[in-house]
Chains A and B, each alone.
Chain A
């Protein structure tokens, strides 16, 4: 059925007649990737995807030993780390790959932002990407609690209390998330369900849409490159780009294995609802800039509680980022939009600066 080579084997022909392999092959051969000096950034979406696949696989393996209850969660991970062969490795890879995935996702997001790849017709690709970003943070937040240790307990207390600061529906959201008024075993089972069922379901749907749209529209060429009228060189996706992707993935896997082996994830102390929050408590690094901002906000700003100002501020910031394809009118027309480049850079500088402070300022001062 339209197969280019005469000798594809009988299995290939059999399958092609039934599921149309030739169509897939044509699709794969048609895909071209633009070649220009910003080409490096094209690899970070695939890198995020690769790390996500690692998360799915290690996550499934962890499920075989993990017990989602306040009485057993900590002990089951203790058992996994100490008794189960390579248990420490699987858990460490899951934890490290989560961090690397969020990092790759940040790089992907900001490179898309700065190269203005959200221009028409790619707005929905941007929206689905932002939704996937939100889900990734949700994965991080819910997964952090599952070991039921001291750090996770207080991070969750603070994180869920922040949703309580959302105007109007805050109290309702807080109870919905916690499964009660306090962070208890009920919160743990909820987070477990969200982490292993709800979010994976959402990711499957949104990732499918995201990848379909990337396939449909092809890679975006940055407006600066387009304006310069640089000779539109391309490389075939298969095999040239995919092989480069694989080099990146194998490197990431090597880095992951090294990190997991030399810096295995710690378990810490079991959560105790009747202990003081430990000195130096901090969230995962990707929440650090928000955490540090909350530390600096005074109790009241213009008569409104500081935390509410912070939460609403970050909410509006996220909404701004989401709506950028509609706000950046100059980029829509294919003109250079320096303002939005500078806004993007300002966001990156703010996040890096506050994260740096979060790790260097003495926690007791």
Chain B
């Protein structure tokens, strides 16, 4: 106390040195934390899986096996799709991933349209969301029948 009162200038360099050391310690601690947390953070984020490039898929189903007023799930890349034969006999295909919360939809013959069991979402036979919580229509695919093969492809 007394010393400071007598020679304030003499204390000045010491204080600066102290604050410099504190600053050094603080930044080192900060840098240390960053150098630990950054790799851990990056580690926790999964690497991007290659998006399935397939724009079309040939189904392991024969057209004749798909009865009118039925639907079935098929693999489109790594996501499920749904193939429906309408009561009128037309084949249609959509993404089977519900636009609400990602569940896999199904065809319900009793009501004649596509339905999601998770939160009671309804889609008509052109994929439009017609009832329940889904906010958007199902993505629709193009269906081509080549002889005994069904080829489903992304529309344009």
Residues of A at the B interface (CB closer than 8 Å) are 154, 157-158, 161-162, 172, 175-176, 178-182, 186, 273-281, 291, 294-295, 297-300, 305-307, 363-365
Q: Which of B49, B98, B103, B117 contacts A363 (CB 8 A)?
A: B117
Question: A283 — nearest CB in chain B belongs to which residue?
Answer: B118
Query: Can you list 22 pairs linking A and B with CB atoms under 8 Å apart?
Result: A154-B104, A158-B102, A161-B102, A162-B101, A178-B46, A179-B46, A274-B73, A274-B75, A275-B104, A276-B73, A276-B104, A276-B117, A277-B104, A277-B117, A281-B117, A294-B133, A295-B119, A297-B133, A299-B135, A306-B133, A306-B135, A307-B100
B102 and A276 form a contact (CB under 8 A) = no
Ranked 9 nearest A-B pairs via Cβ = A276-B106, A161-B102, A277-B103, A161-B101, A299-B135, A277-B117, A158-B101, A295-B119, A179-B46
Question: B82 — nearest CB in chain A belongs to which residue?
Answer: A276
Question: A291 — nearest CB in chain B belongs to which residue?
Answer: B119
Which residues of A sit under 8 angstroms from B73, Cβ to Cβ?
274-276
Q: Please encode chain B, from 105 to 148, with 1 for each CB lying within 8 Å of some chain A CB and 0 for all others.
A: 11010000001111110000000010011110000000000000
Known: A299-B135, A306-B133, A363-B117. A181 touches B49 (CB 8 A): yes
Which residues of A sit under 8 angstroms from B36, Cβ to Cβ?
none
Report which residue of B82, B129, B132 has the largest number of chain A beta carbons within 10 angstroms of its beta carbon: B132
A157 and B100 form a contact (CB under 8 A) = no
Q: How far is the CA of A275 from the CA of B116 in the complex (A)?
A: 12
Q: Which of A157, A175, A298, A307 contacts B103 (CB 8 A)?
A: A157
- Asked if B35 CB lies within 8 Å of chain A CBs, one says no
Which residues of B sit under 8 angstroms from A365, Cβ to Cβ?
120
Number of B residues contacting the other chain (C-beta, 8 Å)? 32
Which label, helix, strand, loop or mixed, suits the secondary structure of the B interface?
loop
Which residues of B sit under 8 angstroms from A307, Cβ to Cβ?
100-101, 133, 135
- Asked if B152 CB lies within 8 Å of chain A CBs, one says no
Q: How far is the CA of A62 from the CA of B134 in the complex (A)?
A: 39
Q: How far is the CA of A41 from the CA of B126 in the complex (A)?
A: 56
A274 and B133 form a contact (CB under 8 A) = no
Known: A306-B135, A307-B133, A363-B117. A176 touches B44 (CB 8 A): yes
Which residues of B sit under 8 angstroms from A278, Cβ to Cβ?
117
Known: A281-B117, A294-B119. A157 touches B102 (CB 8 A): yes
B101 and A294 form a contact (CB under 8 A) = yes
- Asked if B96 CB lies within 8 Å of chain A CBs, one says yes
Q: How far is the CA of A157 from the CA of B103 in the complex (A)?
A: 7
| Shortest Cβ gap from A359 to chain B (Å) | 15
| Shortest Cβ gap from B104 to chain A (Å) | 5
Q: How far is the CA of A303 from the CA of B40 in the complex (A)?
A: 39
Q: How far is the CA of A123 from the CA of B75 in the complex (A)?
A: 53
- Asked if B155 CB lies within 8 Å of chain A CBs, one says no
